[in-house]
Amino acid sequence: MDFTHPIFLFVFLPLTLAVFHIARTFAGGRQALAVAALASLVFYGWWSPLYLLLLAGTIVFNYWMAVRIAEDRSSGLLAFAVCVNLLLLGYFKYRNFFLENAGLLLGHDWSLGAVFIPLGISFYTFEQIALLVDIGDGRAAKPKFLDFVLYVALFPHLIAGPIVLFRELDHQFEKLRRGAFAGLQYFGPGLVVFIFGLFKKVVIADNLAVYVNYGFNPQFTLTMLEAWAAAVGFGLQLYFDFSGYSDMAVGLALMLGFELPINFDTPYRATSMIDFWKRWHMTMTRFFMMYVYSPIALAWGRVAMERGMGNWQTFCLAVAAPILATFLTSGLWHGAGWTFVMFGLVNGIGLVVNHAWRQARLPVLPGAIGWLMTMITVTVSFVYFRAADITQAHTMLAAMVSPSKLIMPNWLSGWADRYGLPWDTLILFNSGTFTAKMAAMLLVAAILSVLLPNWAKTWPTMVPRIRLAAATAAMVWLVGNWLGVSRTFIYFQF
């Protein structure tokens, strides 16, 4: 059951909302919180009761550790708890990756067979680590058990984020207990934001997936134009798929009366890599900046000061190296494979270059050039993100920059002969009709990625208007036409 499944949309969600708000109105805030917690556990257990036990086990363990750490501020307890969480995540997500690579180094073929990754394990593990660290640093107090359960398992953000900090939810839980909660005040905007996210996923991302899956088929070797179309298509698919999920998460939380942080802020308007990562997967970026980059940068910056290093030496040690370490870690967080390591490395290098440009006080690039360079860098990184392996990624990237791969499709042979260009029967662009449909889909998606409003961000200013009602009704109609063929969210694998 995911957010696009009919059972979720027409059974689980209406029932949960009704029982939650009835409990809140007639029984009280604590009972409403218990309803939300129970519904969230049922939502997660729909996939696998066995992994519901894993989720429940991590919650009990981390709550116990949170209480212990809050009582004596032990750095040893904190280190132990963080290590246990990382070892659990590593066992389920990275065991084969490390075994296979160790085996390659030692000349052995080591593997534990197929790995099933529990849904959302990366997200709920990092959220619990964040709270433990915040308690250890004195930025958070000992939580109530029910609040802790809801912080980790609240179903709108449980499977694929946003990655929430405890301080963003605990005061909302307390308001609900005191009867000072928003109630149904946010329900209307939440419904609109949810439908908007559903539209992004079902109508745009899932229709792009048809072309992207064909283009990234490992059996096919693409020409330059085909490779660029597949790469750009995946960048758009990923954006609408994940931002669609994130918008739905915000909308669902609002329908319950809770506010979640946004995850995307029109990232394809970014004119630099720094700007892009302030807009893309914002809660993940925040987590890695707070709990990975900042500690490394502060420690290595102190070393640079103690040793009296020059400006560029300090930059390399206290800025460039922490950025690369952070984004390599971020790449591995996305998946256990060298393709994800390369995804992190490309973005890390792009950010280092961006910061070095500012450090050198070079002229600010015109917006159009900055945007183009940013989009090219991001697109290259997404090729690694989507490719089945490093070989496929490098084959596609080589096709994107190789003049010998500039080949026209056979249905443009007359035009190609006129200008002395080679032509052939192509894999992806094998017919004019298919190519026209793909080009139209890419163009529409690209325009929408830049021009669509960010209702997950601006919902507090949303007011009922005829135009808003018409747009929402149109999205519902379009979703209804494609809902039956919806596919799993890309980030469910993480």
Is the pLDDT assigned to residue 110 strictly greater than 70?
no
Give the residue numbers marked as catalytic. Answer: 334
pLDDT 10s digits, 442-482: 999 999 999 999 999 999 999 889 999 999 999 999 998 88
pLDDT tens profile 214-267 = 999 988 889 999 999 999 999 999 999 999 999 999 999 999 999 999 999 999
Cβ-in-10-Å burial (0-12, 13-18, 19+) of 477 comes to: exposed
Calculated CA dihedral for residues 371, 451, 4, 211, nearest 10 degrees: -60
146 closest CA partner among 37, 53, 254? 37
At residue 105, the pLDDT reads 72
State the Cα–Cα distance between residues 422 and 84, nearest whole angstrom: 58
Measure the CA–CA gap between 328 and 279, rounded to whole angstroms: 19
The pLDDT of residue 419 is 86
153 pLDDT above the threshold of 90: yes
Which amino acid is present at 336? A
pLDDT digits (tens, 9 = 90+) for 9-58: 999 999 999 999 999 999 999 999 999 999 999 999 988 888 899 999 99
* Tens digit of each residue's pLDDT (9 = 90 or more) over 221-232: 899 999 999 999
Bond into 162 cis (ω within 30): yes
pLDDT at 486: 59
First-to-last alpha carbon distance for the chain, in angstroms, is 16
Q: What pLDDT, on a 0 to 100 scale, did the predictor assign at position 197?
A: 96
pLDDT tens by residue, 376-404: 999 999 999 999 999 999 999 999 999 98
What is the pLDDT, as a whole number, of residue 382?
A: 97
CA distance 269 to 276: 8
Judge whether residue 79 has pLDDT over 70. yes
pLDDT digits (tens, 9 = 90+) for 341-371: 999 999 999 999 999 999 999 999 999 999 9
C-alpha–C-alpha distance, residues 309 and 317, integer Å: 9
Q: Is the pLDDT of residue 271 over 70?
A: yes
pTM of this prediction?
A: 0.93
Q: Identity (one letter) of the amino acid at 166?
A: F
The 3-class SS string of 114-126 reads: CCCCCCCHHHHHH
Which residues on neighbouring strands pair with residue 409, listed in sequence order?
424
pLDDT on residue 281: 95
What is the pLDDT, as a whole number, of residue 146? 96
Give yes or no for residue 485 having a pLDDT over 80: no
% of the chain at pLDDT higher than 90:
73
Please tell me the number of Cα atoms within 13 Å of 126 on its side-chain side.
28
Residue that is written with structure tokens 């079902």 in the block: 202
Give the model's pLDDT for residue 111: 66
Q: What is the structure's pLDDT at 310? A: 87
